[in-house]
Amino acid sequence: MVTVEQPCYTLINLPSDSDPPNEMQLKMDLEKGDTKTKIEALKKTIRMIVSGERLPGLLMTIIRFVLPLQDHMIKKLLLIFWEIVPKTTPDGKLMQEMILVCDSYRKDLQHPNEFLRGSTLRFLCKLKEPELLEPLMPAIRACLEHRHSYVRRNAVLAIFTIYRNFEFLIPDAPELIASFLEGEQDMSCKRNAFLMLLHADQERALAYLASCLDQVTSFGDILQLVIVELIYKVCHANPSERSRFIRCIYNLLNSTSQAVRYEAAGTLVTLSSAPTAIKAAASCYIELIVKESDNNVKLIVLDRLIALKEHPTQERVLQDLVMDILRVLASPDLEVRKKTLNLAMELVSSRNIEEMVLVLKKEVAKTHNIVEHEDTGKYRQLLVRTLHSCCIKFPDVAATVIPVLIEFLSDTNELAASDVLVFVREAIQKFEGLRPLIIERLLDAFPTVKSVKVHRAALWILGEYATSPDDIQAVMNQVRQTLGEIPLVDDEIRRATGEKVDEDMMQQQVPVQKLVTSDGTYATQSAFNTASVSKKGEARPPLRQYMMDGDFFIGAALGTTLAKLALRYMSLVSDNKKQNRFCSEAMLIMASILHLGKSGLAVKNMTNDDADRLYLCLRVLSDKSPVIVNIFHENCRRALSVMLAAKAEEEASTQKAKEKPGSVVHADDPISFLQLSSSRAGDLGGTENVFELSLNQALVGGRRDGIGSGLGSGGESTPGLSKLNKVTQLTGFSDPVYAEAYVHVNQYDIVLDVLIVNQTGDTLQNCTLELATLGDLKLVEKPQPVVLAPRDFCNIKANVKVASTENGIIFGNIVYDVSGAASDRSVVVLNDIHIDIMDYIVPASCNDTEFRQMWAEFEWENKVSVNTNLTDLHEYLHHLISSTNMKCLTPEKALSGQCGFMAANMYARSIFGEDALANLSIEKPFNKPDAPVTGHIRIRAKSQGMALSLGDKINMTQKGPQRTSGA
């Protein structure tokens, strides 16, 4: 298979709108034109040859009239021209004219201008004709001693390439370069020479490295990188050499170049598993993360650090470096901080947990002292969750962490405060010895809380865990303080009346000042306006303010808390007078809230649900039924225990799913010996399964472990993983040009590998694949035109960049000329290639609070009606999850059972960081067992493309073939 007629190293842009030049006109311009005209004519000639034209008549014209010129631009263009022009006759022999060209090369290699010498040497690297290179070898050798480093380093590259392709032309190249390396001082020349020895004669490269091991740290970074590569290759091929060169790798960890340090650390880890080596490499990675300013580099190196943790022995070494890893938190990027905290949390042990908690406390304090930013609140939330995990994993530090975290309850960031309460709820349930401390701190922070959700949750905790009479009385005092004077309605009326009286008095006393405005009219200004605003803006107690704003759910929660406290107080205190006083106080507060809710003074009246809850609490306190008292006393706390146990079980299963499964080896599996297996296919035994292996790779999408799939490995090829499933047919079999594309989706780009087959008996010239994109896709570069012989075929690759998660379409055509035909260019229109959104979406999880917050924030919604032949609700849910890569957030217990309807929340995240939410609401009539599922799916996303594309995907999978539940 030939893709292009001659090997070409230079890409030339061909303007599509220019007229094809005339050969006779080009000949005239090259013969008789001035320098500028010759340059333009030479450019046109190069473009025509790249497009597939032969132009044999111009060769002698260029040799006679252009080659002798000394203009630098013409010299550059001639190098490109000689690279692409056919140099042989049809029978494969070198053209006679090329002898003249060879003489021109020799003169350029001896030219006093170092740029001409160097560029000619670079050009010689691209020649594939040994007959042209042989006369030039003395001149190339002489360039090794040129005074300018640019010439010397290109001479080394030329010798390297010629030795690799035509060793007989310069058999002593390794010896020549080794002696050149000994006396060379320029770092780029030494790098090229060392690189040649690395690939051509490793023994000489090792000998040179051994002679200057002590000086390696003083070399330039480009040479140090090649030295690291050599040590890696040598030590892997011959492990006995490790002890000889590992000290050099250790020294390179202190290089001034960050690239060298990164490569040296990676090489050190692969060469040695000793704790000192792992510790040195990890410390080097940490230093790179801390000192590097680019966030992408930080994330890449952080991933390498995380990868070190996968090995158990390396994990033990990293545990001692937790405090160093926490230095990375100085980075302002949230993603870097998140990965760092997760890594530190997985590595922390009982030896350094206290130090880690101290660092996290300092980070918490820092977030209070900086200007509030969008990421500041999220970082604070991350710190809270990490401290939460520390306390659950190591209960001994809970006593020092709880006071710090409870300070967050007064934070303006509701997310951080909510996370603190989630932690406090779990801590107060698990750590009985800390309950008095938590209650005390919670009571201190209660008046400063600024969020109704936090107040509501704090009331539940205080009502459930205030168990002593003193604590119960303290909670009641805080409730009275945060409610204000009771009864609420009378106090509100007094406040309103008092403000009115004040306003009347102030209206009489405040002087009025007359002003003249810019248009000449009079205006009056009174100091009363600002005074009344400040009076009306006077803050009420927090709990009362919530209810005046219309949020009476906090009132219902307060009623439940007071009922629990009163029942517990009556069981603890035997004095009837105290019992009645506390109970009546609680009932007065509830009745007062009910009165306020129905009075119309608040912004919105109380809902019936909240009123019913308060009536129930009043009834409980008046009747004191044993069954209801038991529910308030026992069942609430038991429900919390069950919920926490279920949550811990879910986290354990998630953690277990992340762990790598051990490789299962069957008793009759063949044993593969690394020493006996051949690395090259040409050696004995290396080709015994090549056909099966290549077919297996195509069908399954990757190399299998073991020798081959045909040896009883027990692996079946999965159709969903087949690479052949990703081949898209672009034209019909009867078209003059057949094309098909293999679509390979990487993380941020798509590679199209297009096979083009000429099915005609004509030579197709300028055969060009023209592509265009629809959606957020961008074609990186235009594919180059090719020449296809009769019945020939070639592969053309095209890269498409992807910027966001949405369905994209790639469409286009193939355009070609038939040699000798007088008609216009022929066109074959291609089928569209649809890019599937599922390649970019991965399942993700979030808690209920985050889901609701994102649901409220996201502005794009797509409602999709359910249209399916499935008759089972659960089966439809599983089908939807598998076809959209989303994760169901609704617990399995909430979905279990058959009740005729189902509601579930789903969540996924794209590789570009975009979130997608979905709410499934489906039903099925009980009296019709064979009726299909009906309902709808609501999708919400931040971008329109994500919402629409996900909806299209769901519609497409619904219309596809599905099996019914009875099948």
Region 423-438: what's the mean pLDDT?
A: 82
821 and 893 share one domain: no
pLDDT at 3: 37
pLDDT range class, residue 697, cuts 50, 70, 90: low
Which sign, positive or negative, has the C-alpha torsion 783, 786, 788, 794? negative
Specify if 945 maps to a domain: yes
931 and 795 share one domain: no
Element (H, E) at 139: helix 137-143
479 and 590 share one domain: yes
CATH number, domain containing residue 784: 2.60.40.1480
Specify if 564 maps to a domain: yes
Reply yes or no on whether the pLDDT at 738 is more than 90: yes
Q: Which of 59-68, 143-152, 516-525 has the lowest mean pLDDT?
A: 516-525
Region 717-742: what's the mean pLDDT?
A: 77
Reply yes or no on whether the pLDDT at 121 is more than 60: yes
- Please write the tens of the pLDDT for every residue from 249-277: 888 888 888 888 888 888 888 888 888 88
Give DSSP secondary structure letters for 651-694. Answer: HHHHHHHHSPPPPP--TTPPPPPTTTS-SSTTSTTTTTTHHHHH
What domain range is 354 assigned to? 348-447
User: Of 447, 482, 510, which marks where a domain is finished?
Assistant: 447
Surface-to-core class of residue 912, CB atoms within 10 Å of its CB (0-12 exposed, 13-18 middle, 19+ buried): middle
590 and 480 share one domain: yes
Q: Where are the alpha helices (DSSP H) in 184-311?
A: 187-200, 202-211, 221-237, 242-252, 258-271, 275-291, 295-308
pLDDT at 305: 86
Largest CA distance in the chain: 124
pLDDT range class, residue 889, cuts 50, 70, 90: confident
Specify if 1 maps to a domain: no
Give DSSP secondary structure letters for 9-47. Answer: -------TTSPPPPHHHHHHHHHHS-HHHHHHHHHHHHH
437 and 457 share one domain: no
826 and 844 share one domain: no
Are 905 and 917 within 8 A, CB to CB?
yes
Tell me which range, 22-31, 134-143, 226-235, is most confidently predicted by mean pLDDT: 134-143
Reply yes or no on whether the pLDDT at 411 is more than 90: no
Reply yes or no on whether the pLDDT at 503 is more than 70: no
Reply yes or no on whether the pLDDT at 737 is more than 90: yes
Specify if 269 maps to a domain: no
Bridge pairing between strands 826-829 and 808-818: antiparallel
* Residues in CB range of 391: below 8 A, 6 or more apart: 397, 398, 401, 402, 423, 427
User: Of 428, 447, 466, which marks where a domain is finished?
Assistant: 447
Specify if 560 maps to a domain: yes
Give DSSP secondary structure letters for 472-529. Answer: HHHHHHHHHHHH-SSSHHHHHHHHHHHHHHHHHHHHHHS-EEEEE-TTS-EEEEETHH
Specify if 111 maps to a domain: no
Q: Any idea which residue has 């740290």 for tokens?
A: 217
pLDDT at 428: 82
Closest to 290 measured CA to CA, from 355, 336, 255, 356: 336
pLDDT at 19: 64
Are 261 and 250 within 8 A, CB to CB?
no
**What is the C-alpha to C-alpha distance for residues 388 and 401, in angstroms, rounded to an integer?**
8
Percentage of residues in the chain having pLDDT higher than 90: 5
- Please write the tens of the pLDDT for every residue from 65-112: 888 888 888 888 888 888 888 887 777 778 888 888 888 888 888 888
Reply yes or no on whether the pLDDT at 962 is more than 60: no
pLDDT range class, residue 740, cuts 50, 70, 90: very high
CATH number, domain containing residue 913: 3.30.310.10
Phi/psi of residue 890, nearest 5 degrees: -70, 130
Reply yes or no on whether the pLDDT at 938 is more than 70: yes
817 and 878 share one domain: no
User: Of 818, 835, 852, which marks where a domain is finished?
Assistant: 835
**What is the C-alpha to C-alpha distance for residues 798 and 840, in angstroms, rounded to an integer?**
19
Specify if 79 maps to a domain: no
**What is the C-alpha to C-alpha distance for residues 706 and 711, in angstroms, rounded to an integer?**
9
- Please write the tens of the pLDDT for every residue from 862-877: 999 988 888 888 888 8
How high is the mean pLDDT of the chain? 79
pLDDT at 572: 84
Q: What torsion, rounded to 10 degrees, do the Cα atoms 686, 692, 698, 703 define?
A: -50
Closest to 567 measured CA to CA, from 442, 455, 469: 469
**What is the C-alpha to C-alpha distance for residues 255 and 258, in angstroms, rounded to an integer?**
7
Are 30 and 74 within 8 A, CB to CB?
no
Q: Give the number of other CB atoms < 10 A from CB of residue 190.
A: 23
pLDDT at 963: 46
Number of domain units in the chain? 4
Specify if 909 maps to a domain: yes
- Please write the tens of the pLDDT for every residue from 307-357: 888 887 788 888 888 888 888 888 888 888 888 888 888 888 888 888 888
Tell me which range, 626-635, 770-779, 914-923, is most confidently predicted by mean pLDDT: 914-923
pLDDT range class, residue 702, cuts 50, 70, 90: very low
616 and 477 share one domain: yes
- Please write the tens of the pLDDT for every residue from 455-474: 888 888 888 888 888 888 88
pLDDT range class, residue 917, cuts 50, 70, 90: very high
Are 288 and 301 within 8 A, CB to CB?
yes
744 and 852 share one domain: no
430 and 560 share one domain: no
Query: Full-prediction pTM beyond 0.75?
Result: no
Reply yes or no on whether the pLDDT at 521 is more than 70: no
**What is the C-alpha to C-alpha distance for residues 510 and 513, in angstroms, rounded to an integer?**
10
Region 680-705: what's the mean pLDDT?
A: 47
- Please write the tens of the pLDDT for every residue from 839-852: 778 888 887 878 88
- Please write the tens of the pLDDT for every residue from 618-660: 888 888 878 877 787 777 778 877 887 777 777 777 666 655 5
pLDDT at 919: 92
Region 804-825: what's the mean pLDDT?
A: 77
Tell me which range, 314-318, 516-520, 638-642, 938-942, is most confidently predicted by mean pLDDT: 938-942
The three-class DSSP label of residue 932 is: coil
pLDDT at 918: 92
pLDDT at 747: 64
Q: Which of 5-19, 97-111, 439-453, 659-673 has the lowest mean pLDDT?
A: 5-19
pLDDT at 242: 77
Are 922 and 901 within 8 A, CB to CB?
yes
Q: Give the number of other CB atoms < 10 A from CB of residue 410.
A: 15
Surface-to-core class of residue 93, CB atoms within 10 Å of its CB (0-12 exposed, 13-18 middle, 19+ buried): exposed
Higher pLDDT among residues 705 and 353, named by residue: 353
775 and 831 share one domain: yes
779 and 853 share one domain: no
